[in-house]
Amino acid sequence: MYTYEYPHPAVTTDIVIFTLRDQQLKLLLIKRRCEPFKGSWALPGGFVHLNEALEIAAKRELEEETGVTDVYLEQLFTYGNPDRDPRERVITVAYFALIASDKIEVRAATDAEAVGWFAMDEIPNLAFDHQTIVETARQRLSAKLDYSTIAFQFMPEQFTLSALQDVYETILQAEVDKRNFRKWVLALERIEETGEMQSSGAHRPAKLYRVKEPGKVEIIK
Amino acid sequence: MYTYEYPHPAVTTDIVIFTLRDQQLKLLLIKRRCEPFKGSWALPGGFVHLNEALEIAAKRELEEETGVTDVYLEQLFTYGNPDRDPRERVITVAYFALIASDKIEVRAATDAEAVGWFAMDEIPNLAFDHQTIVETARQRLSAKLDYSTIAFQFMPEQFTLSALQDVYETILQAEVDKRNFRKWVLALERIEETGEMQSSGAHRPAKLYRVKEPGKVEIIK
DNA sequence: CCAAAAGTGTTCGTACTACACCCATGC
DNA sequence: GCATGGGTGTAGTACGAACACTTTTGG
C-alpha cells in the first residue's frame, strides 16, 4: 500500500496507433478484459510505473498489449477531466503512433481479450473518453501530412510513388494530381530510387523508392 | 492521509505566461517560498486538486500566485521524467499563456515570495526542468505567429498597426517590411478600424484598430 | 522648416494548379 | 492487340518579397 499526505491521481498512457492497410486508415484497439468497461473496445494503454518516463511507459504498454515495436511515437495531449474514469481520478497522457504496414505483427496479451485493427469508419463505441482522443489524433495526423514528412512512417522499406500517393489520398480523403504530387514529393529530396522495379500485373513496372532517413520526421515548408 | 494499492505520482500544472512590454517578450516567474528549490525562480504552478480539470487548475494557480486572470491558455506538453522533482515522482502538465500588456496586474501570493516579469535574455536559473519548458513554449509561440492569429492576444483593446508589427518583430527577432505586413494583416480580415486616432508626439497620428473577435485564435493559411 | 512616424503601389520571381497523352507489360 | 497502371511537361495564376517616397503632425 502507498500513502500520501495529499490525494494523488492515477496516471496512465493511452496510445492511438494508426496504420494503412487495404487502402484504409486503421486504428489498433484492444478488447478490455478487466473492469471498468470490461468487454468494451479501448485504446491500448495502462498505468505509468513509478520510475518510468512517460514515453517509455507508452512504448511498453504498446508492446505488452499488442506486440507492436519500432513505431513513430509522439505525445498527443493530456486528458484529465475528473470524471473520465469511474474508479478514481485518472489522468492520461495520450500518445499518437504510426507503424508501417509491413511491420505489423499483432498479438493479444495479458490485459486484452482481443486485439484488432479497425478502419476509421468502423470504429465501435469506445471506453472512457477514447472517442475524443481518437478524433484529436486523426486531426493531428491530417494536419501533419501537410507540413511534415510524417507520411513516410507508413511506408515499407521499398515502395512505389503511386503507393505513397495512395497514402496521402486515403488520409486526406481527397484526390491528388499525379504529376503535381510526383514533382512535389521528389523536390522534397527525402526519398530516392532504389534501382529496383516492381512488376505487379499486366502493366508497366514501377520504380521503387526508399526513404533516405527512415526514422526522421521533418517539418517542411 | 490517502492510501492507494499502487504507487501514484503527484500531478501539477505549470504555466509559461508571456506578455510584451517595452518592446520585449517577457515571462512571469515566481520566487519559491518552499522547498525544494526554495528561493529559486520558477514557473507559477502547483498541484492539481482531486476534482479539478487540468485547465482549471492552471487558471487557479495562475490567479492565486500572480493575480493574473483572463488570459489565453493552451496545453503545451506534459513532462514526466522520474527524477524531475527530488521529493517524489511529479508529472507536470505545462500550459502556455499570453496576456495583453494592459491587463497585467501582478501581485505576489501565498506560495511565492515575489513575482516578476523577466525579459527572455535575462531569465535566471530556474527550478526543476523549467528551463526546458520555457524553451518549448518559446518555440511554440514563434511557430504559432506564422500560422495563427495568436499575436492578437498580446494587443490592448485599441492599437496601431505599427504596434502590431512591433509584436511580430519582437517575437520573431526579425525585421518585417511595413507595406507587406500591412497588406497581409488587413487581408486576414480579423481586425478593423475603430475610427479613432492616436497622436503621440511630433508626427502624423496613427489610425487605431481593434480585433473583431478578441477571444478567438484561428489557424490561418 | 525640420524631425519623426504614418501611410501607400508596383514589379518580380516562385511555387502551386490544371490538364492529356505515350509507355511498358501480361494476358 | 488490348487493358492496366506507370510515367512525363507546359502554361496560367496567385501569393510572397523587395523596394522609396509623400503625408501629417509637434516643436
Distance (Å, whole) CA A95 – CA A17:
8
Delineate the domains of chain A, giving CATH numbers in brackets.
Answer: 10-145 (3.90.79.10), 150-211 (1.10.10.10)
Smallest CA-to-CA distance from B42 within B119, B113, B122, B128 is with B128
Per residue of chain A (221 residues), what is the pLDDT tens digit?
899 999 999 999 999 999 999 999 999 999 998 889 999 999 999 999 999 999 999 999 999 888 888 899 999 999 999 999 999 999 999 999 999 988 877 766 666 678 899 999 999 999 999 999 999 999 999 999 999 999 999 999 999 999 999 999 999 999 999 999 999 999 999 999 999 999 998 999 999 999 999 999 999 98
pLDDT in tens, B54-113: 999 999 999 988 888 889 999 999 999 999 999 999 999 999 999 998 888 777 666 667
Residue nearest to nucleotide D20 (CA to C1'): B179
Smallest CA-to-CA distance from A98 within A31, A19, A30 is with A19
And the C-alpha cell for B64? 492565486
A7 CB neighbours in chain B (<8 A) are 2, 50
Say yes or no for a CB contact (<8 Å) between A93 and B75. no
Query: Residue A189 CA to C14 C1' — how many Å?
Result: 18
pLDDT band with cut points at 50, 70 and 90 for residue B114: confident
- Position of cell 496613427? B206
By the CB < 8 Å criterion, does B139 face chain A?
no
pTM: 0.94
How far is B121 from chain A, CA to nearest CA, in Å?
27
Nucleotide nearest to B179 in CA–C1' terms: C8
Say yes or no for a CB contact (<8 Å) between B75 and A77. yes
Contacts of B104 (CB under 8 A, 6+ apart): B19, B21, B68, B117
Please say if the pLDDT value at position B126 is more than 80: yes
Residue nearest to nucleotide C9 (CA to C1'): B179
pLDDT attached to residue B109: 63
Say yes or no for a CB contact (<8 Å) between A93 and B80. yes
Query: Residue A206 CA to C25 C1' — how many Å?
Result: 11
